[in-house]
Amino acid sequence: MKIEFKKFIFTFAICIFLLSNWSFGKDTENNIEDIDINSRSCVVLDRKSKTILFGKNENKQVKMASTTKIMTAIVIIENYDLNKEITVSKKAAGTGGSRLGLRTGDKITVHDLLYGLLLRSGNDAAVALAETVGGSIEGFAELMNQKAKELNLKNTHFESPHGLDSDGHYTTAYELALITDYALQNSTFAKIVGTKNYTITINGYPKALTNTNELLGNLNGVYGVKTGFTNGANRCLVSSCKRGDMDIICVVLGADTKNFRTQDSIKLIEYAFENYEYVNIKEIADKELSTLRNKYSSSFFVDKGISNKISFEISNIDTPILPIKKDLVGNITTESFLNTNLIAPVHKDEILGYIKIVSNNNVIANFDIICKSEISKRSVIDYLKLFMQRTPQIFEEPL
C-alpha cells in the first residue's frame, strides 16, 4: 500500500511539474536556451543517429558517481559467466557509500550481483565484481579503460568500478551517453536496468531490491538506466526513453538536489519529444537523384572516352533517418551538382557530384554522387576504327 501511494504521489508531482512548465516547448519558439537546467552538464542523444538534440557543457570532463556502474556492468557481462557463484571478500564487504549489504564470506552469483550493482547501486557489489573479473580494483579499471578506448572515448577515464570520487575518474555527459547507448545494445544489461523490482539470493536467502531510478515506471517511455551521487559529482541521472519510433538517452550530471536532477531530466526528455521528429533524408536524396537522372542521363560527354554512357548512384550513409526540429521540417530543401563534362578514363566509384540536404540554411546531410560505370580512354586502334567508320568508301564495287 505504501509503495502504491508513493507511486501515486510521484506521478501526481510529475503531472503538476509538466503543467507548470508546459510553456517551455510551446511559447518560446522552441529555443533551447529557454530551458532552465540546474545540472552543471547534460545532453540528450538520439540513439538512431547519435545526434545531440540538446547539450550543456556536454564535452566537459566531470565526475559521474555511480553512473560509472554502466561501464562496470557491460565489462562484466561481456567477460564473465553470470551464473557463477562467488564468495565476497573482506575488501568488497567493507566498501562504503551506497551498499547492497554484503558481508565477508557471502555467496552470491555474478548475475545477482549485477542486479545489486544496477538496481541498489551497491558499491560493495561493484568491488566484488571487479575483484572477480579483474583480480583487483586496479586491474578491473584497466579493463574499463580498455573498453573506453575501444569505444573511441577521448575524455573518459576510470579508476574504480563504483565511481566514488577521485581526481582521475571522470567522463563527459556526451561520452556517458555513448557508453549507455552501447550498453543498452546488450539485452542482458537492458533487461536489468529496465527492472523496477527484483529478488536476489544471498547465501540461499532472498533479498528484495527496488530500482533507485525515480523515472522508471513513472514517466512515459522511460526504460532505464542509472542514478548516481557523490559529494564531488552531486546528483546524476542517466535515462533512456522511447516513444513511438524516437529513442533517446538523457544524461544530467552535477544537479544540486535529487529534485533538480528529476526535473532537469523530465524537462529535457519532454523537450526532445515535443520538438523533434524523424525525417528520412535518404528518401529526399533519392528523389533528387531521380530528377538528376531524368535531366542529365543523356547529357554526359566523356572527352577521349570510348563511351558517353554514364550511370550513377548516391553514396550510402550510416544514418538515413535524422531527428529534425518540427518547425524546420517544412523548410528542408536540396542542393545538387553533377559534373557532366568528363575526361577519360572515368573509373567506377569516382565522385561526380553531390546532393546536399539543407534545413534553415544549414547542411544536415551530404551525399556523394558516385559513378557506377567504367569508361576507358580511347586507344590508337579505337581512333583508327572511328576514322574508318566516318570515312566514305574510296572504291566502289564493279558493275
Q: What are the catalytic residues?
A: 66, 69, 121
Grid cell at residue 241:
526513453
Q: What does DSSP assign to residue 126?
A: H
Q: Which residues of 80-124 form beta strands (DSSP E)? A: 85-87, 107-109
Distance CA 180, CA 176 (A): 6
Q: Which residues of the chain form beta strands (DSSP E)? A: 41-46, 52-56, 85-87, 107-109, 197-202, 205-210, 222-230, 234-243, 246-255, 276-280, 301-303, 312-314, 321-325, 333-338, 341-343, 351-359, 362-371
Tell me the β-bridge partners of 234: 230
Residue 122 backbone zone (phi > 0: left; psi -120 to 50: alpha; other: beta): beta
- Residue showing cell 542529365: 296
Q: What does DSSP assign to residue 12?
A: H
> How many Cβ atoms sit within 10 Å of the Cβ of residue 223?
18
Instruction: List the one residue out of 367, 348, 347, 342 whose CA is nearest residue 357.
Output: 367
Number of helices and strands in the chain (H, E): 11, 17
Grid cell at residue 217:
515506471
Instruction: List the one residue out of 49, 48, 56, 45 whose CA is nearest residue 272.
Output: 45
Going by C-beta distance under 8 Å and a sequence separation of 6 or more, which residues neighbour residue 244?
none
